[in-house]
Amino acid sequence: MSAIDASGLTKIYRRGFRGKTGVTALNNLSLTVERGEVFGFLGPNGAGKTTLVKVLLSLVRPTAGQASLLDTRLPDTRVRERIGYLPENHRFPGYLTGEQVLRLFGRLSGVTRPVLDSRIPELLRLVGMEQWKAMKVKRYSKGMLQRIGLAQALANDPDLLFLDEPTDGVDPVGRKEIRDILRDLRSKGKTIFLNSHLLSEVELVCDRVAIVDKGSLLKIGTIAEMTEGGAQYTIGIDGELPESALMEAKAMVVKFTMQPGTLVADAGTTRELNNIIDLLRRHGVMITSLHQQKTTLEESFLALLKREGEAAS
């Protein structure tokens, strides 16, 4: 069974005098998130990401469509007992210590005191905040706030976790630790719905991603599917192709460009790549290196938004 099912969600925010103008924050958006996967939800500012999360948390209601979480049809706030949530730019009372924050939000999530007594030390250890558990959060750095925020989202041992920019303000070591935590949660069957502008982080941890813009779903798939494209190879060479080799190469289907000491070839198949290699060898050109250039998630993301923008103009 799926963790999240959404179909045809539309949410129109009314603005202006007597509601005569408005903006469609979601536009017939449909997606499914399977249990036990880390799912990335990506889009530029104003794309509708936060609105979707609010709909799924029953904080706002869609004007059309339907959704369910963990086989529970929304709106049904009882499902929140099985959900953890870390919002972007979260705020905790500055006079509380980190340990007190976990106790407060754990109790608000319905966790009993005896369970929290044993769970809070585990959570502090998990996010690396044991040393600062007695420090008031008003003295925390941004990275420390993110860590304690992640811990509070896990206080009720949720089956489904919504995380909005969980590594914002966290140093590289901390980001690596949070990625490890997310992978461990996935191995335990938890489902994670992740919003982030750090696409390099998303690429490292997510199983699948969806890209939205102007409230509409543009593309959804695995990281491999989202970054696939024409295979381009950079081949380091010692020597130059003679004129006869260049003439032979021009007759080949494979496109390539020459630079000093380097040949860049667009080879869509293994056979095309080997044709280029055979050509070099026939003409006595030594191959010093071979590297496949892969499209990053960020490059795919920007290219997709550019294509959509050009199509709309």
Is residue 17 very low, low, confident or very high in pLDDT (cuts 50, 70, 90)?
A: very low
Indicate the number of domains in the chain.
2
Average pLDDT over residues 14-18: 55
Domain boundary among 193, 210, 227: 227
* Cβ burial 172-189 (10 Å sphere, 16+ → b, else e): eebbebbbebbeebbeee
Q: Residue range 29-33: average pLDDT?
A: 94
**Of the ranges 101-105, 238-242, 254-258, which one carries the lowest mean pLDDT score?**
254-258
Q: pTM for this structure?
A: 0.81
Q: What is the pLDDT of residues 182-231, one digit of tens each?
A: 999 999 999 999 988 888 888 889 999 999 998 999 999 998 888 776 56
CATH number of the domain that 256 lies in? 3.30.70.1560
Q: How far apart are CA 133 and CA 202, in angstroms?
A: 29
Q: Does residue 253 lie in a domain region?
A: yes
284 assigned to some structural domain:
yes
Co-location of 138 and 283 in the same domain: no
Residue 201 lies in a domain: yes
Give the pLDDT mean for 119-146: 93
Looking at 199, 227, 255, the residue that finishes a domain is 227
Q: Which domain range does residue 48 map to?
A: 2-227
Residue pLDDT, tens place only, 256-308: 777 778 878 776 677 878 888 888 888 888 888 888 777 778 878 888 888 87
pLDDT, tens digit (0-9, with 9 covering 90-100), for 43-57: 888 888 989 999 999
Same domain, 37 and 185: yes
Confidence of residue 106 (pLDDT cuts 50, 70, 90): very high
Q: Are strands 216-222 and 2-15 parallel, antiparallel or unpaired?
A: unpaired
Residue pLDDT, tens place only, 136-168: 999 999 889 999 999 999 999 999 999 988 888
* Calpha distance 62→45 (Å, rounded): 20
The SS3 of residue 31 is strand
Residue 248: band (very low, low, confident or very high) from pLDDT cuts 50, 70, 90? confident
CATH classification of the domain holding 149: 3.40.50.300
Asked whether residue 82 carries a pLDDT value surpassing 80, the answer given is yes
183 and 253 in a single domain? The answer is no
C-alpha 56/C-alpha 237 separation (Å) is 54
So what's the pLDDT on residue 273? 80
